[in-house]
Amino acid sequence: MVDPTLSKKWLYWILFLLLATALFFLQLIPLQTTPSNWAMPDLVVCICFAWVLRRPDYMPVLLIAVVMLMADMLFLRPPGLLTALVVVASEFLRARVNVMRELPFMLEWALVTGVLVALLLGYRLALFIVMQPRPSLWLSLTLLLTTTAAYPLVVAFSRYVLGVRKTAPGEVDALGHRI
């Protein structure tokens, strides 16, 4: 079945995998082995949220789970916890795609910030419940701040370079189906 929309989706799935691998690679390069007191933004989560709100079909939930689980494993986080939270958050955003389509970017940014705060709280709460040591609060807050600040840049990059943009209401794909 050679379906142009499907092959385009495939293209974006592979693109996301490549982007995530490149970001993991950049983070793993041992350039700085002294402790730093601020955290780089979590760009993979940014891309997830930006794409889910623009083209939910480019960001299937299984792909998010696989990539985030890989990140959990590589970066020595408790495996599965942040993945589960990001999957739930992406489903929350996915359910609001139709509403968000009409709204200005500022509101979208505010919503994503709210989701990121909820992620942080949920993550710390879960670690508290199972009596695991929580990561330093200061670092988590800088991570939240840099990730929030990076979100518009990721959106601009996705929109103008990768061509992931919101669909207009009633827009149809190549075969005439509603997107």
Residues in 69-88 at the binding interface with other proteins, rule: CB under 8 A: 69-70, 73-81, 83-84, 87-88
DSSP secondary structure letters along 150-172: HHHHHHHHHHHTS---PPPTT-B
Near other proteins by CB under 8 A: residue from 17, 19, 61, 118: 61
Going through 85-141 in order, the beta strands assigned E by DSSP cover none
By CB under 8 A, what part of segment 91-120 binds other proteins? Answer: 91
Distance CA 97, CA 60 (A): 14
Write the Ramachandran bin of 53: left for phi over 0, alpha for psi from -120 to 50, otherwise beta.
alpha
| Residues between 5 and 34 that touch other proteins (CB under 8 A) | 5-6, 24-25, 27-34
Q: In the complex, which residues of this chain contact other proteins (CB under 8 A)? A: 3, 5-6, 24-25, 27-40, 61-62, 65, 69-70, 73-81, 83-84, 87-88, 91, 126, 130, 132-133, 135-136, 139, 143, 173, 175, 177-178
